[in-house]
Amino acid sequence: MNADHARYADWDAAYVLGALSAADRAEYEAHLAQCAECRTAIAEIAPMPGLLSRVTPERAESLLRAPEAETPTPEHRARVLSLAAERARRRRRTWVAGIAAAAAIVVAAVAVPAISAQLRPPSTTIALEQLRDAPLTASVSLTDVAWGTRLDMICDYGSEGDAPADGWAYALVVVSDDGTESVLSTWRAHPGTTARLSAGTELPASDIAAVEIRAVDSGTVLMRSSLDGS
């Protein structure tokens, strides 16, 4: 704190409002150049003139006409300005704290998804190719996990298709590099429906040669996607 701070501690509001004489203003500005605390005080109450400008002439005149109002002494004016400055400082501190809190929330909101995305296991989504005349479209996402591979499938059955009352039965099958076939899940489809399912295999994704959808009753491969390029 500047050694002369006590003398000028209450001058900030008068300075901001333009109430200082030319000599006092020059003196205070010389002090500001040396006192960081007073510069901070000025910054905190800088919005005061803008706030006071919102008071309409009618409102100001009505206050002056109030019967109980007394002509303020210079000491009273200084005290009022000091109190106003302190209140402005408090409001500004609250406002700054609110902005800081909001900024922290925004940073957290941005950072958490970013961190989550970094921690999320990598996945590969493949579209299955239709091998038979069936109203199916499907895609499968393969995700490496600690125990093997998780498969998340979405399969749409077109509304123009037909089906028995209990629907058509389908199976999700993976074929390993050595030709081993594993049925991971089965479901029934009706026209205009979408099947969403998750299944898993102990095989790592690198050991999966193909993913297929087969008709359960006949074993016919209806859709397939090769992961090994074959």
Q: What is the pLDDT of residues 218-227, one digit of tens each?
A: 999 999 999 8
Are 112 and 94 in contact by the 8 Å Cβ rule? The answer is: no
State the average pLDDT over residues 11-36: 84
pLDDT at 195: 94
The predicted structure's pLDDT at residue 157 = 92
Domain map of the chain by residue range?
5-118, 123-226
pLDDT at residue 160, rounded to an integer: 79
Average pLDDT over residues 136-147: 92
Residue 115 has φ and ψ, to the nearest 5°, of -65, -40
- Per the prediction, the chain carries an average pLDDT of 78
Consecutive H or E run containing 8? helix 5-8
User: First-to-last CA distance in the chain?
Assistant: 78
Q: What is the pLDDT of residue 38?
A: 85
> Can you tell me the distance from the alpha carbon of 21 to that of 8, in angstroms, rounded to the nearest whole number?
14
Mean per-residue pLDDT, 17-32: 84
Per-residue pLDDT, 108: 45
DSSP 72: P
Q: Which pLDDT belongs to residue 99?
A: 46
Q: Return the pLDDT at 182.
A: 95
Tens of pLDDT, residues 29-38: 888 888 888 8
* Percentage of residues of the chain with pLDDT beyond 90: 37
Say if CB 218 and CB 143 are below 8 A apart.
Answer: no
What value does the mean pLDDT take over residues 47-65? 65
Residue matched to tokens 């809190």:
101
pLDDT in tens, 105-122: 444 444 445 444 444 457
What predicted TM-score, i.e. pTM, was given to this entire model? 0.48
Is the pLDDT assigned to residue 185 strictly greater than 60?
Answer: yes
- Looking at residues 156-182, what average pLDDT do you find? 91
CATH class of 123-226: mainly beta
Q: How far apart are CA 149 and CA 176, in angstroms?
A: 12
Domain 5-118 sits in CATH at 1.10.10.1320
pLDDT at 17: 76
Could you tell me if 57 and 34 are in contact, meaning their C-beta atoms sit under 8 angstroms apart?
no
| Burial bucket for residue 229 (CB in 10 Å: 0-12, 13-18, 19+) | exposed
For the cut 50, the answer to whether the pLDDT of residue 84 exceeds it is yes
Least confident span in 9-13, 153-157, 183-187, 206-210: 9-13
Residue 14 has pLDDT above 60, yes or no: yes
E strand or H helix that includes residue 43: helix 36-45
